[in-house]
A and B are shown apart, each in its own frame.
Chain A
């Protein structure tokens, strides 16, 4: 049970912003939202995580709604190398309950 819902696939034009949504309506107060991505034939790669405030790093921005029931990962200027499966994961910050549980993710295709 991945506890998150993501669209199966999305397309994005190169150079445009890619906005990947995730629903996590049953998220608990102590659960963080994590995003990982997996480029074809590689291991998953951490992107960003947050609790309730919006977060930004060199890779992406994470926008979490005020009620925390959904979030959006934003890649501001998508490139062809951003084509990957993007996983939205909720996890607690405590012991074995903090395991990463990967769902099906969103397959993002960035097109020239």
Chain B
């Protein structure tokens, strides 16, 4: 298995532009998680899905952020409009069976976003 796949790996954009980050979870995993990592705040959970349905989006910073999972093999995290403070590394992770103690989360390589 190729693991969790994220694209792009690096994204540089200007303030006000729309940014779309993509994630392909491990086949068969029914939970998908989006995290953001910054030096100031560390690694934070933004939102997670179970069977393509958003379960908890309390970590989404504001309305500029939205996430979708149209099918079991694809998810997007969109920022519109983007701001410099959104600069961070965004990780996608997936797991089988979700939050049980026996279900470790597998993380993708991350997307490094820079908003100028």
Interface on A for B, CB 8 Å cutoff?
A: 32, 38, 41-46, 49, 51, 87, 91, 93-104
Which residues on the A side are within 8 Å of B4 (C-beta)?
43
CA distance A41 to B109 in the complex (A): 8
Also in contact, A45 and B107, with CB within 8 A (given A99-B48, A102-B42) = yes
Chain-A contact segment, one of B11-19, B75-83, B98-106: B98-106
What is the interface residue range for chain B against chain A?
Answer: 20 to 34
Residue from B42, B56, B100, B109 within 8 A of A43 (CB atoms): B109
Query: Considering the chains assembled together, what is the distance between the CA atoms of A44 and B4 in angstroms?
Result: 12
Query: Per-residue 0/1 for B77-116: is the Cβ within 8 Å of any A Cβ (1 yes, 0 no)?
Result: 0000000000000010100001111001111111000000
Interchain CA distance A103-B43 in the complex, whole Å: 8
- Among B56, B107, B109, which residue has its beta carbon within 8 angstroms of that of A96? B56
In the bound complex, do residue B101 and residue A46 qualify as a contact, i.e. CB atoms below 8 Å apart?
no
B99 near A101 (CB under 8 angstroms)? no
Q: Is B60 an interface position by the 8 A CB rule?
A: no
Is there contact, CB below 8 Å, between A101 and B45? yes
In the complex the two chains form, is B101's CB within 8 Å of A43's CB?
Answer: no
B99–A94 CB distance below 8 A: yes
Whether the Cβ atoms of A43 and B91 lie closer than 8 Å is yes
B101 touches A51 (CB 8 A): yes
Instruction: Enumerate chain B residues within 8 angstroms of A103, measured Cβ to Cβ.
Output: 42
Point out the residues of chain A lying under 8 angstroms from B48, CB to CB: 99
Is A99 within 8 A of B107, CB to CB?
no
Asked whether A96 and B93 contact (CB < 8 A) given A45-B107, A46-B104, A101-B45, the answer is no
Between A and B, 26 residue pairs with Cβ closer than 8 Å are A41-B110, A43-B93, A43-B110, A45-B107, A46-B105, A46-B106, A49-B101, A49-B104, A51-B101, A87-B43, A91-B99, A93-B100, A94-B99, A95-B99, A96-B55, A97-B99, A98-B98, A98-B100, A99-B56, A99-B99, A100-B45, A100-B105, A101-B45, A102-B42, A102-B43, A102-B44
